[in-house]
Chains A and B, each alone.
Chain A
C-alpha cells in the first residue's frame, strides 16, 4: 500500500514538471458548492461525490475533481492563454463496493485559450506522457468532437440532433434514440394513440403541478412534427455506426475517417482537426500514428469532454483505474461561463498509482 506521504511527494514532483512547462500553481477549496456540480453533472454525481451540509451556505460537496473550480477561477480572473497546475485530494464515493479508494491525490495540468487547439491537445498529452514514460503505460485516445460533428451533420431536424447530442455521454440512451429516429423501434402504443387523437387534451384529467397546459401542447406539437419527419437514412446511420465502433491505430483510423468524410462531409473539419493533432503530437516527439484510437473513448465517463480524450492504463492490470486521463472540454467552459466559452484542455495523474507501479507493488 502506498502511503499518502509518498503520493504527496510524487505529486510535488509532477507539479514541478508542469511548472517547468510554464504552468502557474493554483489551489482549490475542498468544499465546493453542490448546486454547481449538480447542475453540471446531474443527480448521478450524488452517487459519486460526498455531500455535506454547511449551516449557512447549504449543500456542499467534497471536491470530486479540480476541473470545475479551476475553470471558475480562470473565468473570474484569468488572462489568456493560461496554464495551471495543481495537486491535492479528490473524494469519490464508492456505492457498489468496487473496492476503489474514496480519497486519493490528483496532480493536474490545464491549458486555457490559445488559437491552436491541436497544439494545446498535443502539449497536454505529451507532457503527461513524458512524466509517465518510465512506467511503460498503454495510451488510448479518442475524439468526441468527431462523433458530435457526425450527429450535427445528420439530415434531420434540429430537435432530433439536439436530443442525440444531449445523450452523447449515455450510450444506451443514444442508441435507443438512434433506433427510434431510424424507424427501427416501433412507436409505443400510448404515443401512437396520442398522435392519432385530434384533440388529446379534450378529456384530459385535471392537471396538477407546475408544468402547464401550454407546455404539454408545445410537446404534442413537437411530437406531431417529429412523426411527420422521414426516418434517418440507413446510409447515415451506418456511417454513424462505423464511427462509433472505430478503433485501431491512429493512422489507420484517420484513413478510415477520411473515407467516411467523403460520404459525410460534416465530419471533415473534425477529421482535419484529428490530423492536425497527430502532426502536433509528432512534433512533440510522440509516435502518433501508432497511438490507439477509439472513437467512442470517453463516452461513459461523467466528464464534459467534447473533443480530444485520452487515458493511460497499466498494461495487464485491468483492475486498476487509469493512471492518467484527460481531454478537451470547451463545452464545460461555456456552461460555467454563462455563454462565454474558452478553449480548454487538461489532464490529471494519480501520483499514488505512479508510485505503486514504479515500485512494482501489486
Chain B
C-alpha cells in the first residue's frame, strides 16, 4: 500500500510544485514520454505520484481517491461543498498566488463598494428589465460572497475564459475573476471594488480526510511530513477525525 499524492500534470503549477518538494529533498518527476501522465517520487518511501489536471484534484481529494494533493485554494472552495468536512489544508506553498475579485467598468465613477454595486443592480434591473450580469466561473464562491454582503438583483453568467472581455462584448456588466496583478482587468477598462476581494488564493498542499488512512498510510504520512518540515498535528487530527482507524 502506498500514499497517493496528486499533483497538477502540466504547466507552471506542476513545475513550481516539483520545485517546492525538491527544495525539501523529495524529487518528483514525470516518467515515460512527454505525453504520458506517469510519475515517480524519490527521497521518501511509499509515496506514489498521480498526475492530474489541477481542476480535478479537489474532486479526487473529496472522494478520497488520493491521500494528498496540490491545487489552488480557490479550486477546493469552489468545487467541494462543505470542503472543511472532507479536506484539510496542510501547508500553503507560496506560489500560484491570485485573488478572486469583483470588478466593474472603471468608467463607473459612482461605484466603489459592494453597497454601490447593490444599488446599481436595483436601478439597472429597473432600467433594462433584467438582473445585472456578473460573468464568472466561480459560481459558488461569488454567490456566497454576494449573499453574505446582501447584494441582490444580480445574476451570474458562466464564463470559462476571457472573462474580462465580457463587459466590452456586452454579455455582462461586471466580472468576478482571478487576478494576480490586475493588469488584464485594467487593460479591459475594469476596476476592482474596494471591498470586492472574494478570496485570497495560492497553491496549497491538501490532505483528504476521506482517503484510506490505515496504520501503514499514517506511518508513511508522518515520514513525509517530517521530511517536508511540517508539523503532524493538523494532519493527525484530520486523519483521526476521518474515522481512519475503523476504516483500515
Q: Whose C-beta in chain A lies nearest to the C-beta of B148?
A: A172
Known A176-B115, A208-B189; contact A42-B167, beta-carbon cutoff 8 A: no
B180 within 8 A of A: no
Distance (whole angstroms) from the CB of A96 to the closest CB of chain B: 5
Complex Cα distance, B134 from A209, in Å, reads 12
| Contact in complex: B113, A188 (CB < 8 Å) | yes
Complex Cα distance, B189 from A204, in Å, reads 11
| Contact in complex: A95, B82 (CB < 8 Å) | yes
Q: Whose C-beta in chain B lies nearest to the C-beta of A213?
A: B107
Distance (whole angstroms) from the CB of B163 to the closest CB of chain A: 13
| Contact in complex: B112, A170 (CB < 8 Å) | no
Query: Chain B contact residues: over half helix, strand or loop, or mixed?
Result: mixed
Known A97-B82, A209-B168; contact A190-B113, beta-carbon cutoff 8 A: yes
Which residues of A are found within 8 Å of B170, using beta-carbon distances? 209-210
Stretch from B93-101, B124-132, B214-222, B233-241 that touches the partner: B124-132
A9 within 8 A of B: no
A167 within 8 A of B: yes
Partner of B110, one of A43, A46, A172, A223: A223
| Contact in complex: B119, A206 (CB < 8 Å) | no
Complex Cα distance, B55 from A64, in Å, reads 30
A194 within 8 A of B: yes
| Contact in complex: A188, B112 (CB < 8 Å) | yes
The interface size of chain B toward A, counting residues with CB under 8 Å, comes to 45
Which residues of A are found within 8 Å of B6, using beta-carbon distances? none
B63 within 8 A of A: no
Partner of A42, one of B116, B119, B131, B188: B131
A173 within 8 A of B: yes
B37 within 8 A of A: no
Q: Mark B177-202, 1 if CB is under 8 A from A, else 0.
A: 00000000000111100100000000
Which residues of A are found within 8 Å of B213, using beta-carbon distances? none
Stretch from A214-222, A288-296, A328-336, A348-356 that touches the partner: A214-222
Distance (whole angstroms) from the CB of A66 to the closest CB of chain B: 24
Complex Cα distance, B116 from A176, in Å, reads 13
Q: Mark A40-67, 1 if CB is under 8 A from B, else 0.
A: 0011101100000000000000000000
| Contact in complex: A208, B123 (CB < 8 Å) | no
Known A170-B150, A200-B110; contact A211-B120, beta-carbon cutoff 8 A: yes
Distance (whole angstroms) from the CB of A115 to the closest CB of chain B: 32
Known A208-B189, A211-B173; contact A219-B152, beta-carbon cutoff 8 A: no
Known A190-B194, A211-B120; contact A205-B146, beta-carbon cutoff 8 A: no
| Contact in complex: A173, B106 (CB < 8 Å) | no
| Contact in complex: A43, B107 (CB < 8 Å) | no
Partner of A194, one of B110, B120, B152, B191: B110
Which residues of A are found within 8 Å of B1, using beta-carbon distances? none
| Contact in complex: B110, A44 (CB < 8 Å) | no
| Contact in complex: B189, A215 (CB < 8 Å) | no
B138 within 8 A of A: no
Complex Cα distance, B191 from A190, in Å, reads 13
| Contact in complex: B143, A46 (CB < 8 Å) | yes
Q: Whose C-beta in chain B lies nearest to the C-beta of A177?
A: B115
| Contact in complex: A166, B122 (CB < 8 Å) | yes
Which residues of A are found within 8 Å of B85, using beta-carbon distances? 97
Q: Whose C-beta in chain A lies nearest to the C-beta of B189?
A: A208
Q: Whose C-beta in chain B lies nearest to the C-beta of A41?
A: B152
Q: Mark A12-43, 1 if CB is under 8 A from B, else 0.
A: 00000000000000000000000000110011
| Contact in complex: B147, A208 (CB < 8 Å) | no
A320 within 8 A of B: no
Distance (whole angstroms) from the CB of A72 to the closest CB of chain B: 20
Distance (whole angstroms) from the CB of A124 to the closest CB of chain B: 28
Known A44-B147, A190-B194, A208-B167; contact A215-B123, beta-carbon cutoff 8 A: yes
B210 within 8 A of A: no
Distance (whole angstroms) from the CB of A324 to the closest CB of chain B: 26
B140 within 8 A of A: yes
| Contact in complex: B82, A96 (CB < 8 Å) | yes
| Contact in complex: A191, B189 (CB < 8 Å) | no
B105 within 8 A of A: yes
| Contact in complex: A166, B188 (CB < 8 Å) | no
Q: Mark B139-179, 1 if CB is under 8 A from A, else 0.
A: 11001101101101111100000000001101011000000
Chain A residues proximal to chain B, CB less than 8 Å: 38-39, 42-44, 46-47, 95-97, 163, 166-167, 170, 172-173, 176, 188, 190-191, 194, 200-201, 204-211, 215-216, 218-220, 223
Can you list the 8 inter-chain pairs with the closest CB atoms, starting with the nearest?
A173-B150, A207-B107, A97-B82, A190-B112, A205-B106, A170-B150, A209-B167, A208-B168
New contact pairs (6) apart from A43-B155, A47-B140, A223-B110, CB-CB < 8 Å = A188-B112, A200-B110, A206-B106, A208-B107, A209-B105, A216-B109
